[in-house]
Amino acid sequence: MVGKIGLLANPASGKDVRRLVARASVFDNQEKRAIIRRAIVGAVASAAGSGSELEFVYHNDAHGIVQQALEEFGGDIKATPVDSTQMSSALDTISAARAMRDQACDIVITLGGDGTNRAFCLGWQDAPMLPISSGTNNVFPNLREATIAGAAAGLIASGQLGSELMLQQKCISVHIEDEREDLALIDALLTNERFVGARALLKPDQFRSALLTRAEPAAVGITSIGGLLNPVDARADHGLWLEFGAAGDIVHAPIAPGYYQDVGVSVCQTLKLEQTVRCVGPGTLAFDGERERTLRDGQEAKLTISRTGPRVLDVTAALHRAAEIGSFIKPQQTQPAPKTS
């Protein structure tokens, strides 16, 4: 058996203007290379002795992050780049995701923030994923040591563990009048701002409404606004709809790392799966913390929440299960009896 692990690192994650305004973490590409290398170490370690071979199927990004990590690792591993674009934009991630889907990867390790994973899911919406955080807003990816994340991925790809340890995520399907469809994993927000610009969402007085798949009080970003009013976790079969304005609760929320703001919330209500809400322009739609699409005056967007997103591996559960089945326990070496003359 050959188990396939997809590898994708977003060179652009963790470098936008939120480093200035909010003092968000900086992830340079040397660090990303080191993270990917540690994930490879973990995957190889967990698959050793399973009787399965591993193949790493990777996006050869323009910065060569994964390629260099594989070269540094060395060793006798099979690694194959996928056929993806080199546009230095989200299109590269989308095309790589499609190629990994076509290659039937057993699991894909992604390195980035919520925006990176959203782009990946635009190419492969229900992908089996293990997202590692190196972005700004990190609700979707795990803040997790890469060695252990890689080990969990190796357990899946080598067939030692099954898909029951993956939870299919909620997502928001976005239908914009007369334009291509879009997607959000955590939140979709309509702001009065007229341009995508530097993408960051830092002006709560411009917020109009938001749909959240998860409202996490222990996270940063738009999700925290709902989370501090009415928490909704990944397993709940509903989302949260917010309308912003002064005539309601004032929530002191961390809308970006290191950046608390007062946000007025006039409506906060749960929304069942498969329900649709409408937004009307002018304005800009932001997905997973970044302004992405502008709406003309009167242009309508329909947002539908459903559980049709990626399947994400529970790393902790995977390693507990590995302990139960002894994945990392080697048989005792039998000592040869001393020779007597």
Partner 1 sequence: MSDEISNEVLFDLHRRMVRIRRFEETAGKMMEDGKIPGALHLYVGEEAVATGVMAHLSNQDQITSTHRGHGHLIAKGGAFDRMFAELFGRATGYCKGKGGSMHISNMELGMLGANGIVGGGPPIAMGAGFSNKFRKTDNVAVCFFGDGASNEGSFHEAANMAALYKLPVLFVCENNGYGEYTPQANHQAIVDVADRAQGYGMPGVIVDGMDVIAVYEAAGEAIARARAGEGPTLLECKTYRYYDHVGVRGMGLTYRTDEEVEEWQKKDPIDQFETRLAEQGILSAEAAQAVHDEVLAEIDKAIKFAEDSPYPEPEAVLEDVYA
Of 187 and 193, CB closest to partner 1: 193
Of 17 and 167, CB closest to partner 1: 17
Tell me the C-alpha distance between 2 and 31, whole Å.
Answer: 29
If binding is defined by CB under 8 A, does position 91 make contact with partner 1? no
CB of 16 to partner 1, least distance (A): 6
Region 194-253 residues binding partner 1, contact defined as CB under 8 A: 194-200, 202-203, 205-206
CA end-to-end span of the chain: 47
Contact 260, 224 (CB under 8 A): no
Question: Which of 71, 296, 325, 329: binder of partner 1 (CB under 8 A)?
Answer: 296
What DSSP designation does 122 have? H
Closest-CA residue to 253 (of 215, 291, 288, 211): 215
Angle at 21 between CA 17 and CA 26, to 5 degrees: 55
If binding is defined by CB under 8 A, does position 17 make contact with partner 1? yes
Question: Which of 63, 98, 101, 208: binder of partner 1 (CB under 8 A)?
Answer: 63
Of 231 and 282, CB closest to partner 1: 282
User: What are 129's two structure tokens?
Assistant: 């994923």
CB of 159 to partner 1, least distance (A): 37
Question: How many chain residues interact with partner 1 (CB under 8 A)?
Answer: 33
334 dihedral zone (left: phi>0; alpha: psi -120 to 50; beta): beta
If binding is defined by CB under 8 A, does position 29 make contact with partner 1? yes
Tell me the C-alpha distance between 155 and 90, whole Å.
Answer: 29
Binding site for partner 1 (CB under 8 A): 11-12, 15-17, 19-21, 23, 26, 28-30, 62-63, 88, 192-200, 202-203, 205-206, 282, 294, 296-297
